[in-house]
Structure 1
Amino acid sequence: MQLANGFYLNRKVRRLRRTMPSAISAFVIMLSYCGDNLTDGYVDDDTAEFVLDITVQEIDALQQVGLIETVDGGYVIHDYLEHNRSCQQVMAKRKREHDRYSAGSLPAESAQTAGRIETESGQTPEHQNTRTQKKEKEEYSSSFSKESVKDFGESRECGETDKTLAVEYPNLDLESAWLAFADRHQAETRSVNDWTRLWKGWCQRRANMSGIPPSKRHIHTWQCEHVLQALGRDKETATPDQQACQMAKRLNKEENTK
């Protein structure tokens, strides 16, 4: 991601400062997302709303001044590739750096010299270089740590999210929601955190559209049925004494630790 030094002087930015300042931060967030995920300036609808938390009003403001444009399924930042490297350029650079740090790229004389010199830790630079190579390889691989929606569906994080959603929206058909979600995102790869936020947002929006309200966690009180049952009381004999209040407090504590 790059921001020109004269960003604050840009006519579109200055206009947003007067009409909707929050849209400027939304634009910067979009830039950051595109740079991190190498999207060449593209942000899909779901990501903008559920991952980046950009409001409809901010999107409209950005479109009106021409900082973003509407495309099929989302938005694209205007002239993004004129100021930022493309995904292809970034990947090519990473490959060159990876090849440069690989064992085969070390000159023979340097490798022999490294083998004769010991460091303060007792390891030779040769061994240190092997460890550095491993670290570089892990960092290089981690840049591809995206997974498909199918892989996410089989992950532990997805299972835990499903449990939370089942409690929050007990009347929502999660299986049907997942089939629609997986079909919508079948060609995409994202990080687990992004998938989790998208999946939650998808279910929340689906529930709202279906008129399914989220369930509210029950708060135990001195007169709720659970406390009365635990103390062998009924509504007629219910009283806010110390025993009932302590029982309600205990039940609430147990619920919070589950």
Structure 2
Amino acid sequence: MARRGYVQLANGFYLNRKVRRLRRTMPSAVSAFVVMLSYCGDNLTDGYVDDDTAEFVLDITTQELDALQQVGLIESVDGGYVIHDYLEHNRSRQQVMAKRKRERERYSAESLPAESAQTAGRIETESGQTPEHQNTRTQKKEKEEYSSSFSKEIGVSDFELVGEKAHANADIIRNYPKLDLSDAWGAFMQHHHGETRTIADWTRLWKGWCQRRANMSGIPPSKPHIHTWQCEHVLQALGRNKETATPDQRACQMAKQLNKEKS
């Protein structure tokens, strides 16, 4: 049974160049991508789908997976696939679990009697502002506090809720898809309990922690992508496709240039 929740699909999804290309070349791959999104949101995988799940649970064909990789909607990693920029638009597993914990604690606590809607509508602050205007000011204040938080030191539990943690998770999953992030995070929190650091420091420590944990567990990093004359990145850069791909001088030079930039 699916859990309660959702994943985000941008309003401009239908205008995305990658999606429009798939609709012409392999329309079924678009629905396969949406199914993968739904699976990741339901199982809190942070955008990772293993090979067996993709084939035998989600019924996604090899051709559809290849097409999704060609346009860059998913990336191949050891043992499966990662949805590109999944954590840029969706909450991480740690963020969801933390939110559920807060909700359980809130509901278990004794709640105060709720005011009637009519009474609440008449409430005004001393400055004469209605609750609507208060919400606007509160949101602005929260944004200002967030932007200044980079220079402030926070605890490890607070770091779990910031966006930089989600971005770091995406990099870790891409490099070490077989690493158990939940166990790694639990050990990381226990090790750094009571410490305060800046977000940048926490991000650096968290990535290093996972890298060392993967190495100690014998988990190899994903094989880096080597650009070739027929890879998707070279084809996109030259405005070509699989049918027009050719190992000419332009394609080989472009592949060499991309590999050099990556290193």
**TM-score, normalised via structure 1 length:** 0.41
**TM-score, normalised via structure 2 length:** 0.40
Greater Rg by CA: 1
